[in-house]
Amino acid sequence: MSTPSFEYILPVIRGIQAGREYYVSMCPVRFLPKLFPLESEDLPPEMRAIRTLNQTRIPEIADYFVRNPTSYTCGAIAASIDADITFEAVGNEAEERKIGRLRVPMDAKFTINDGQHRRAAFEMALRENPQLGYETVALILFLDIGLEKSQQKFADLNSFQVPLEASLSLLYNHRDDRARLVKAVVKQVEVFRCLTEMERGSLNGRSHKLFTLSAIDRAIMALLSNFPGDEMTNHPHSHLKKGKKEEELAQKIQVAAAYWTAVSSFMLDWQLVLHKQVAAGEIRRDFVHCRSVVMESLGEVGAVLLSVFPESWEERLVLLREVDWSISNPDWEGGILLKGGISKSRASVGWMSDYLKVRLGLGTADGASNSSIPGARSD
């Protein structure tokens, strides 16, 4: 007596890659856990087809799916099939031979080559929003090629991935409140609008810009660190109504734009570059005020000014004109200038913040002695 054959029947498009057949299909999200069981965490690395799951990433991706059920984007999952499969074309014409049904035995082993975190995140997201189970995710299916080649395929699929530049991530993000705020401030502050590199995280010697969007982002967040209201997130459990959140966002944009417009008015070098009287490269080479460590420090100082002098903070900024911003200023040695280069460390940001607080008559943040800060006032 023959054993009944139970199988999956998948609608697919057949293709050729590296001389081998592969198939593209769609899979309902609710079937992902069954089709793609996760590998045991106890397997040694050399026996695994993919890396061990990073458990901290899974809740973040799942939260993204849950928070954005009508606008999330998910790339294809690539997997290998260990089974005797059968492809049935829908017809005999050239294009028809590429489209058909793939018959896969139910005891087949599916091994994910790329996308295991998305698969695990979908399983987690389904617990909170079961309706996601009726949506589909693209599958790229390869014939089983053994552990060694599966590992190689995983390495190949991940070899050319380049982390997204922080500036570009902000530029292209239209959902996150923080990204919206930063881009709105950049548009309203003329020197930022004209002199900010919006894509790259660094500036080459020939760039006509003074700042990067990622540096502006950190500076603005430092400025608004004491601002009342919700943090710059889109957390799903926020109790703020949409109208209230938009109102707070508008207030933050207004405050940040006013502050940085005032700061820029006291930075003569920024104005010279803005009006094309001096090359940006020269200013970046010879001065420190457009460096990210200083920008973030200016943000921190601004947070103190807005808190201590809510009505007269702009008057204090006039003192920025008295600061010697040239890179040759010996004050920077050991503070933001270490081993001949500008430091971006958290300690250097704190040092620069204290330096500027002293210069603006605010004292140091912790009330410590000013003697270690060059240029400290005796009064």
Say yes or no to pLDDT of 351 above 60. Answer: yes
Residues 54-97: pLDDT tens digits? 888 999 999 999 999 999 999 999 988 888 889 999 988 888 88
Tally of CB atoms within 10 A around 324: 13
pLDDT at residue 371, as a whole number: 41
Mean residue pLDDT of the chain comes to 85
Say yes or no to pLDDT of 50 above 80. Answer: no
Which pTM value belongs to this model?
0.71
How far is residue 230 from each of residues 75, 103, 112, 240, 355, measured CA to CA in Å?
32, 52, 39, 8, 30
pLDDT at residue 108, as a whole number: 86
Residues 122-176: pLDDT tens digits? 999 999 999 999 999 999 999 876 666 666 766 666 666 667 788 888 888 888 8
Please tell me which residue, 97 or 49, carries the higher pLDDT value.
Answer: 97
pLDDT at residue 215, as a whole number: 95
Residues 185-215: pLDDT tens digits? 999 999 999 999 998 888 988 899 999 999 9
Which residues does 219 contact at the CB level (< 8 Å), separation at least 6? 260, 292, 295, 296, 298, 299
Using 50, 70 and 90 to split pLDDT, how confident is the model at 289? very high
pLDDT at residue 283, as a whole number: 96
pLDDT at residue 61, as a whole number: 95
Please tell me which residue, 41 or 297, carries the higher pLDDT value.
Answer: 297
Say yes or no to pLDDT of 294 above 80. Answer: yes
Residues 299-322: pLDDT tens digits? 999 999 999 999 999 999 999 999
CB contact at 8 A, 303 and 310: no
**Dihedral-angle region of residue 115 (phi above 0 means left; psi in -120 to 50 means alpha; beta otherwise):** left
pLDDT at residue 54, as a whole number: 81
Please tell me which residue, 292 or 365, carries the higher pLDDT value.
Answer: 292
pLDDT at residue 263, as a whole number: 97
